[in-house]
Amino acid sequence: MKRVYIEDFPRHVGEEVEVAGWLYNQRGSNKFRFLLVRDGTGIVQSVCSREEKGDEFFEFAKALTQETSILVRGTIKQDDRAPGGYELVLTDLEKVADSVDYPISPKEHGVDFLMNNRHLWLRSSKQHAILRIRHEVIRAIRDFFNERGFINFDTPMFTPNAVEGTTTLFSTEYFDSIAYLTQSGQLYAEAGAMAFGKVYTFGPTFRAEKSKTRRHLTEFWMIEPEVAYLDLAGDMDLAEDMTVFVVQRVLQNRQTELKALDRDLSKLESIQKPFPRLHYDEACEVLMAYQKEHPDEEEAKFEPGEDFGGRHETILASAYDRPVFVTHFPAEIKAFYMKRDPEQTDRVLGFDMLGPEGYGELIGGSVREDDLDVLLGRIREHELPEEPFNWYLDLRRYGSVPHAGFGLGLERTITWICGRDHLREAIPFPRMMYRMTP
Ligand code: 4AD
Ligand code: MG
């Protein structure tokens, strides 16, 4: 018999097929059993009647427990009342393997329990939907850059130096020396941009974040485009185009999953160009005004010159129905490689893109310092060792050009699109300060 995936049912209505999957759940009476069968691509309901199938078959079906692996055979019938819009009219049922005392029952469980059972929790409908959306987001990002002539440029995980500050480095033995797990592929992507014009990285990055916030993982995936001869405005245009493209793709292809997550679609439909662009000084004014109105709110306290905390990002973004760019941060609070604004030399030609609905920074980007002596000075100011950066400085010795890029946090983007409140659900096996298992 032909084996068909549940997501392909619309093309096989009326046919007798086999579904290879697991029992998601069952309910019913002593006369009828409604078996919900999942196969990884969807869930379908199959009805078993005692009268039709006889006592032995009926009792066999009734005794099947949650997550037993089964082969179900039947005819596909369109039925608007059934979950998913189709029903499998049962003819035969075969058990593959038992599932005894499956730990995740349909009742509510605490997050810690679910995280300890992450390897099984992945089968639950919401987690399943989030990770299918993750897949769509990854595909969309790759398509976006591939369609625009970017070269995929893979960068190393073992590195000899810091990129984004020395306080969040993971170090590991590397034969007779020490290696750091990469915080960002950017410096290597810059070499790629000088060789290929426009490149993007797509890979895991690591930060020893000693924070327990819902926005931080210690291992997360980052996408970093880098483009020769690109300026700040062009860099933001690229970030904006990419974000709109990705959201549109998910809206087009993942309606079922968004519905399973009860996502408010209007919030995603409003993600259209242009995104507002706010100078850091304007952002400060907004924050100072807010503080004046809410003098008792501890988390909202702010002094111009400081970096934004999560609460500040939420306040700034709350005025808009789409992401907002904040530009020209004080150089003091930003990375050594960012180019200064010649018109305002204590500021950098960089931006953060803040997501709406309180999701915080989704993207950080900048123009890179392209002058050899200035860059060398910055490396010294930041008290970074010079030797590991020697190759990076070569990019300024041999045909240096203005260039820019950004880094998109994959899990932050997924969490936002899915409307979830913690990054831990946006990756199959999250790594956080207090969690490395399963
Ligand atoms: O702003 P960040 O630190 O920028 C860079 O790493 C640059 N080198 C990027 C570039 O210009 N090529 O990080 C970029 C993004 C953030 O906006 C955020 O979305 C995400 O990476 N991110 C994290 N995501 C999850 N957990 C963490 N601990 C993260 N730290 C940053
Ligand atoms: Mg940043």
323 preceded by cis ω (within 30°)? no
CA proximity to 148, closest of 241, 251, 240? 241
DSSP character for 372? H
Is 411's C-beta closer than 6 angstroms to any atom of ligand 1?
yes
Pairing of strands 43-49, 86-97: parallel
What single DSSP character describes residue 356?
T
CA of 139 to the centre of ligand 1 (A): 20
Q: Which domains does the chain have, with CATH numbers?
A: 2-97 (2.40.50.140), 118-426 (3.30.930.10)
pLDDT at position 4, please?
Answer: 98
Query: HSE-up of 361 (CA within 13 Å, CB side)?
Result: 16
Among 412, 415, 431, say which to mutate for ligand 1: greatest number of ligand atoms within 8 Å of CB: 412
Q: Report the DSSP beta bridge partners of residue 43.
A: 38
Q: Which residue reads 């976006």 in tokens?
A: 144
Contact 44, 87 (CB under 8 A): yes
* Distance from the alpha carbon of residue 342 to the mean position of ligand 1, in angstroms: 25
Q: Is 145 helix (H, G, I), strand (E, B) or coil?
A: helix
The single-letter DSSP state of residue 300 is G
Q: Per residue of the chain (438 residues), what is the pLDDT tens digit? A: 899 999 999 999 999 999 999 999 999 999 999 999 999 999 999 999 999 999 999 999 999 999 999 999 999 999 999 888 999 999 999 999 999 999 998 788 999 999 999 999 999 999 999 999 999 999 999 999 999 999 999 999 999 988 888 889 999 999 999 999 999 999 999 999 999 999 999 999 999 988 788 999 999 999 999 999 999 999 999 999 999 999 999 999 999 999 999 999 999 999 999 999 999 999 999 999 999 999 999 999 999 999 999 999 999 999 999 999 999 999 999 999 999 999 999 999 999 999 999 999 999 999 999 999 999 999 999 999 999 999 999 999 999 999 999 999 999 999 999 999 999 999 999 999 999 999
* Ligand lying nearest the CA atom of residue 361: 1
With contact defined as beta carbons under 8 Å apart, do 369 and 335 qualify?
no
- Own/partner long-range contacts of 414-417 (Cβ < 8 Å, ≥24 apart): 414/130, 414/133, 414/134, 414/137, 415/359, 416/355, 416/356, 416/357, 416/359, 416/362, 417/133, 417/137, 417/246, 417/247, 417/250, 417/263, 417/268
User: pTM for this one?
Assistant: 0.97
CB of 412 within 6 A of ligand 1: the answer is yes
- Two tokens, residue 109: 């469980």
Alpha-carbon gap, residue 332 to 329, rounded angstroms: 8
Going by alpha carbons, the residue nearest to atom 7 of ligand 1 is: 407
CA of 15 to the centre of ligand 1 (A): 50
The number of the ligand nearest the C-alpha atom of 192 reads 1
How far apart are alpha carbons 203 and 101 in whole angstroms? 38
Taking each helix axis as running N to C, give the angle between helix 280-293 and helix 310-317, from 0 to 180 degrees, rounded to the nearest 10: 100
